[in-house]
């Protein structure tokens, strides 16, 4: 693993444990709920390996958190209080609608930046 991969694996490991303990779940409940093997899950929570994107989604569902909450450290995830509920709703949109919303938001931001340059 590269240094960057190790850092990401440790972030995921820390988040898995934090959310599992907060939800009062055992490791077994999480790995069974997510459909992963015991050895894979314990490696994820120890930071020895990284779950696939599909597994991240399943783990997030079991833990009741967003994929961002599993993948990002607390400092990477700082969002203003007023944006948190909006982003939570955004995460729950179907992928095609989420993509359209992302495109629309980029357009709004681009327009704002262009206006600010005038």
CB 69 within 8 A of CB 61: no
27 & 66 share domain: yes
Alpha-carbon separation of residue 26 from 2, 44, 64 (angstroms) = 30, 14, 14
Rounded Cα distance between 107 and 75, Å, is: 27
C-alpha gyration radius of the chain: 17
Regarding whether 48 and 25 lie in a shared domain, the answer is yes
Q: Are residues 54 and 105 in the same domain?
A: no
User: Does residue 29 contact residue 70 with C-beta atoms inside 8 Å?
Assistant: no
Domain range enclosing 38: 3-71
* DSSP-derived 3-state class of residue 90: helix
Q: With respect to residue 78, please indicate whether it lies within any of the assigned structural domains.
A: no
| pLDDT, tens digit, 9 for 90 and up, residues 30-86 | 999 999 999 999 999 999 999 999 999 999 999 998 888 888 877 666 666 667 788
State the pLDDT at residue 5.
85
Number of domains in the chain: 2
Q: Please indicate, yes or no, whether residues 91 and 64 belong to a single structural domain of this protein.
A: no
């Amino acid at each position: 693993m590269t240094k960057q991969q190790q850092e990401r694996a440790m972030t995921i490991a820390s988040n898995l444990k934090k959310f599992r303990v907060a939800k009062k779940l055992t490791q077994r409940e999480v790995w069974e709920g997510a459909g992963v093997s015991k050895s894979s899950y314990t490696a994820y929570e120890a930071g020895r390996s990284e779950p696939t994107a599909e597994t991240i989604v399943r783990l997030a569902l079991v833990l009741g958190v967003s994929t961002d909450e599993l993948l990002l450290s607390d400092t990477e995830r700082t969002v203003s209080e007023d944006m948190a509920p909006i982003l939570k709703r955004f995460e729950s949109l179907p992928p095609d609608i989420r993509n359209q919303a992302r495109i629309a938001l980029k357009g709004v931001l681009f327009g704002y930046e262009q206006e600010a340059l005038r």
